[in-house]
Amino acid sequence: MRKCRCRLLRLTDARQSRRITEHNFANAKVEPVIVSILAVSLLNPWMLAWGAAGLIPLAVYLWNRRQPRRIQWPAVRVLQRVIQQQSQRIKLQQWLLLLLRCSIPVLLAIVLARPTLDNSAAMLPASGASHNFWIIAVDNSYSMQLVDSKAKTALEKAKRMARQLVEDAGPLDCFSVIAFDGPYRRPVSAPIMDHDAVLTAIDNIELQYTSPNLPGVFSAITEATTYAGTENIPEMARIVVYTDMGSDIWDSAPVDQPAWQDLVNNHLLRIVPFPPYSRSNAAITDIRVNSQSLRTGSVSTVAITVAQFAKSNSSRKLTLLANSRVIGSRQINVASNADDSFDFSVTWQESGPQVLEARLDNDNLTIDDTRRLWINVEESTRVLIAEPAPGRSLPIQVALEASQNARQETNRFETKVVSATELATQPLNPSDVVILDDLPAMPPLLWKRLESKVIGGLGLAVLHGEQTMAASWNSAFAASGRLADYQLGTKSPFDLYRLDPLQYQSPLTLPFEGFPDSGLLTTPIFQYWTIEPTPASVDIAFTNGHPWIFTTTHGRGRMTVVTSGPNSLLDSVDRVDTLRTDPMNALATWPSFLPLMQQIVQGLSSYDSNRNLLTGAPIVDSSIADSPNQLSSNVTISRPDGSQDTLSVLSGFTPDQANATNEWVYPNTELPGIYQAQTGTDNASYVVNIEPLESSLLSIDPTRIPQSPPARWQTDAIASKQPSTTKSRTWQWLLGGLLAMLMTESTLAWWMGRRG
C-alpha cells in the first residue's frame, strides 16, 4: 500500500508550489496534495473516507423513529404519563449516546489517516521556497556489507541515518539522492520535495559489486548542485556523504580540483564515516588450474590464493567444489597480512563444461569468501591439419599423436589431415583446433569462414613457411579486417637466428623454464617472415626483436601465428636420399618440437576468454550456423539472483560468407555469480567474480578530506542531529481519545440500560 502525504500549508502562490512539488524521483510517482488551511500533514488522507461510517448510527436512529401504528390500550396510558414526565432527560441521554456513536467512526477514520502537526509552519517563507536543499550520497560499495556484532551492515546503518535526516527535515526541504554506484549513480532530474519518494529511493539503494569511481561520484554531486538557486531552491546545498572511507576509493578523491573546492566553499559538505569495527578479513583472490588442457582421467592442480588482512595468523576451512559437488576440503593456516596459495590435486572424472568454486568459512565480510572458475574438460582435442602437399604435415601429426607419458592409454589429440582444397568444404564444427601448415595461398572466402569460427571459439594455428605467398595472404587479411591484425612483409636474410623466451612469461614457454637443455633456445632457425606491425604480445621472439610466435585473441577463440613454421628437411617423403639445401629451419628434427607443438594446440583448445569475467565486464558471445534459419533470434539470460533478461539478436548473413553469425552483448553483470545464456537449444555458462580491491578494509582518516568547517553548519543541519523543526504525531493522541470514547460509550449505554 503506497503512502502519500497531504501537506496542509499556508501558501500564497498555489501555481508556484504546484510546480515545485510535481518533480518526479526515479520511478516513484507520488504527487503530494497541498491545501492552504492548517499546518497539518495527513500520511493516509484517503482513509478519511471511512468517516462516512459516522452516519450509520444516525441512520439507525432515524429508522427507529418511524411513525408506528397506534393501538389504544388503557394500561399503556399510565406508562405514557410517567414517560412524559422524564422525556427531557431521556432525550438528552439518547442524543448524547448518538453523538458518541457517530463520533467514534469519524475519529477512527482520522486516526487511520495519521495526521501529523508541523510546528514549523509559522517559520516557512510565504514564497514557498525550500528551507534547505539536501544532497545525500551513500557509499554502496561491497565493503559496506561488513556486519557488526548485531549483524547489521554498514550500508543498513548509513541508510537508516539518511532516512532519519529526511524524516526530520522541514516540510519544504528538497532532496537529491546519489549512490556511489548502481541505478542512482546519476542525480535525479531535479530536486524534489516529496519526502516519501526520497525515502523510497534510499530504501532502494543496494550493494554494488563493481569498483566505484569516486571522481565520477563527485562529478554527479557537482551536477546536482547546478539546481541550487533555481526554481525557488536555496543557493547553498547541504551535501552529506555516508561512507566507510575505504582507501581503495578515497585515495582517488579529486580534492585538489577546483570543483571540489567549490563544493567546500560555496556549499556545505560533510562526510559521515563508518570505520570498520573489525579490520580482520580473509578473501579468496584467485583460483586457477595449472594445466592448459584438461582431459578426462588426467590429474591437475587447482591453486587457490587466499589473502589474510589481519595482524595475526588465522585458521580457516577451505573447500573446493565442482558443479556444486565437494571435491576437496582442508584446514588452512594463513599468515598475517600475506597471500598464500593452497593446492588441490583433482582427477577429472567427467567431461564437459564445469564451474569450480572455492569457499572459505564465512567471516564478517562474506562476499569475498567465494570465487569461481569456468573450465572445460574434454575427452580429447580434435585437430584438423591442412597441408599443402601429401605428407607435408607428417611431422606435426606425429608430434601431436606421440604420448608424453608412457602410461597414457589414449592420445590427447585426435588428428585429421586434409588438403588445402578439401579445407574449403570440410565441416569445421567437430574440430577444436585448425592448423594451416604453410599453405601457399589463402582465398578470402575461406579466411572469412575461419574468421567466424575463431570468433565463435575455434583455435587457429597459422604456420608460415617457404611456400607462403605473402600477396595472397595479405589480400585475404585486407578483405576481412577482423581476424588478422598483421601483414606479411618479406623473408629475412638467410642466417642462423637465436631465440629469446622473453623470461618465459608465455604459457607456451612454461614447460621449458628451468630446462636449458630442452632445445628451445638452440632451435636452428635460418629464415622467417617479417611481420608488420609488430604484435603487442609475443610468446617467443628472436634476439633481434622480431617475433617468431605470437598469439592474438578474437571473440571466444585465439589465433597463434608462427613466422617460421616447421619444414621437412626432405624434398619428398618418397625420396629420403635427397636432402633440402635451403630449409627455413630444422625445427621438426629438434627435441623442442614435440612439446612446443603440443603446447600450441593445448593453448588454443582450452581458451574461452569470455567465460570468466569480473563484475561490470559485459558478456560478449556469438553463435555460428550454416544459415540464418538455424540461429535463434533471442537470448535468455538467467542471472545469479534468479531473474531473467531477454536479448533480441539480429543474425548477419551475406552471399559471400560461408556461415551465418549473430553476436550479442549483455552488459548487466553487476552481480557476482553464474550467468546462464539460452540460445535455442544451446546453453552456456559464464562466471562473474568481484575484483577484491576492497577486501583489505583499509580506510583513510576523514580529516584528510577537505570539508566545510563545522562553524558553517547550523546545529539543526548536521545529519547526525535532530533539526529544530519537529513533527507532533497527533494521531497517537487521537488514538488514545478514541479508546476513551469507546469506553465512555459502553459505560453510558450500560448505565442508561439499567436506568431504563
The average pLDDT across 274-278 equals 63
Nearest to 197 by CA among 44, 24, 34: 24
pTM, two decimals, is 0.65
CA torsion sign, 304 to 308 to 313 to 317?
negative
End-of-domain residue from the set 352, 370, 388 = 370
Please tell me the predicted confidence (pLDDT) of residue 577. 45
End position of a domain, from candidates 337, 370, 403? 370
Assess whether 600 and 665 both reside in one domain.
no
Q: Is residue 695 part of a domain?
A: no
Q: Tell me, yes or no, whether 113 and 135 share the same domain.
A: no
* 749 pLDDT tier (thresholds 50, 70, 90): confident
**C-alpha 654: how far from its chain's center?**
36
Backbone angles phi, psi at 727, to 5 degrees: -125, 120
Q: Please check whether residues 657 and 683 belong to one and the same domain.
A: yes
Q: Evaluate if residue 14 carries a pLDDT over 50.
A: no
The predicted pLDDT at position 373 comes to: 95
**Which range is most confident: 50-54, 569-573, 597-601?**
597-601
Total domains in the chain come to 5
Burial of 438 by CB count in 10 Å (0-12 exposed, 13-18 middle, 19+ buried)?
buried
Q: What is the pLDDT of residue 632?
A: 58
Is the pLDDT confidence value at 407 over 80?
no
User: How sure is the predictor about 234, in pLDDT bands with cuts at 50, 70 and 90?
Assistant: confident
DSSP assignment letter at 269: E
Helices 444-455 and 470-480: crossing angle in degrees, nearest 10, is 50
Task: Name the pLDDT band for 751 (thresholds 50, 70, 90).
Answer: confident
| Listed range (450-459, 521-530, 718-727) with the worst mean pLDDT | 718-727
Q: How many helices (H) and strands (E) does the chain have?
A: 14, 36
Question: Number of C-alpha atoms within 13 angstroms, CB side, residue 344?
Answer: 25
pLDDT reported for residue 475 = 92
140, 209: one domain: yes
Confidence band for 183, pLDDT divided at 50, 70 and 90? low
416: cell is 585429421
Question: Do 291 and 142 reside in the same domain of the chain?
Answer: no
* Residue 715 confidence (pLDDT) above 60: no
Instruction: Name the residue among 500, 522, 498 with its Cα closest to residue 509.
Output: 500
pLDDT mean over 11-32: 34
Q: Looking at the domain assignment, is residue 623 inside a domain?
A: yes
Its sign, for the CA torsion 31, 37, 39, 42, is negative
Where does a domain end: 572, 587, 607? 607
What are the tens digits of pLDDT across the range 660-682? Answer: 556 788 989 989 999 999 877 77
479/444 Cα distance (integer angstroms): 6
Residue 1 lies in a domain: no
Range of 69-73, 107-111, 335-339, 681-685 with top mean pLDDT: 335-339
Of the listed ranges 49-53, 99-103, 598-602, 660-664, the least confidently predicted one is 660-664
Do 271 and 312 fall within a single domain?
no
Residue 607: pLDDT over 90 = no
For residues 206 and 305, membership in a common domain is answered with no
The CATH number of the domain holding residue 306 is: 2.60.40.10
Query: Which of 26-40, 49-63, 212-226 holds the top average pLDDT?
Result: 212-226
Question: From residue 624, how far is each of 36, 101, 110, 601 by CA, in Å?
Answer: 67, 78, 67, 22
The more confident residue out of 179 and 113 is 179
Let me know whether 552 and 474 are in one domain.
yes
pLDDT digit string, tens, across residues 571-593: 444 444 444 557 899 999 999 99
- Residue type at position 499: L
What integer is the mean pLDDT of 79-95?
68
- Predicted confidence (pLDDT) at residue 26 exceeds the cutoff of 60: no
Give me the pLDDT at residue 79, please: 65
**CA gap 39, 415 in Å, rounded:** 86
346: left (phi over 0), alpha (psi -120 to 50) or beta: beta
**The pLDDT of residue 376:** 87
> Rounded to the nearest 5 degrees, what angle is found at the Cα of 246, between the Cα atoms of 713 and 228?
35
- The pLDDT value recorded for residue 239 is 92
- pLDDT band (50, 70, 90) for residue 44: low
d(CA 679, CA 671): 21
Give the CATH number of the domain where residue 561 resides: 3.40.50.880
Q: Tell me, yes or no, whether 694 lies in a domain.
A: no
CA within 13 Å, CB half, 622 = 24
Over 80: is that where the pLDDT of 362 sits? no
Supply the pLDDT for residue 468.
Answer: 94
Q: Would the pLDDT of 698 be above 50?
A: yes
The residue type of 550 is F
CATH of the domain at 181: 3.40.50.410
Q: What average pLDDT does the segment 680-700 reach?
A: 86
**Between 213 and 461, whose confidence is greater?**
461
Is residue 375 assigned to a domain? no
Q: Is the pLDDT of residue 45 over 90?
A: no
The residue-averaged pLDDT of 458-481 equals 91
Using pLDDT thresholds of 50, 70 and 90, give the confidence band for residue 502. Answer: very high
Residue 537 has pLDDT above 60, yes or no: yes
* Cβ neighbours for 287, distance < 8 A, ≥ 6 positions apart: 302, 303, 304, 305, 356, 358, 371, 372, 373
**Quick one: average pLDDT of 394-423?**
77
Question: Which residues are paired to 317 by β-bridges?
Answer: 331
| Residues 502, 398 within the same domain | yes
Q: What is the pLDDT of residue 442?
A: 93
pLDDT digits (tens, 9 = 90+) for 140-161: 988 888 887 777 888 999 999 9
561 backbone dihedrals φ, ψ, rounded to 5°: -115, 130
Buried b (16+ CB within 10 A) or exposed e, 520-529: beebbbbbbb
Contacts of 702 (CB under 8 A, 6+ apart): 245, 271, 273
| Strand ranges inside 447-589, DSSP E | 459-463, 487-491, 499-500, 529-532, 538-542, 547-554, 557-562, 570-572, 575-579
Does residue 596 surpass a pLDDT of 90? Answer: yes
Domain that holds residue 712: 127-278+702-725
**How many beta carbons lie within 10 A of that of residue 504, not counting itself?**
15
346 band by pLDDT with thresholds 50, 70 and 90 = very high
Torsion of Cα atoms, 328 then 332 then 337 then 341, to 10°: -40
Backbone angles phi, psi at 710, to 5 degrees: -60, -30
Q: Which residue has the higher pLDDT, 385 or 581?
A: 385
pLDDT score, position 424: 86
pLDDT of residue 411 exceeding 60: no
Inside any domain, residue 168: yes
Same domain (yes/no): 602, 642: no
Share above pLDDT 90 across residues of the chain, in percent, rounded to a whole number: 31
Residues 248 and 315 in one domain: no
Above 60 in pLDDT, residue 277?
A: no
Evaluate whether residue 696 is within a structural domain. Answer: no
Query: Do residue 428 and residue 490 come from a single domain?
Result: yes
Q: For the chain, give the mean pLDDT.
A: 78
Residue 80 maps to a domain: yes
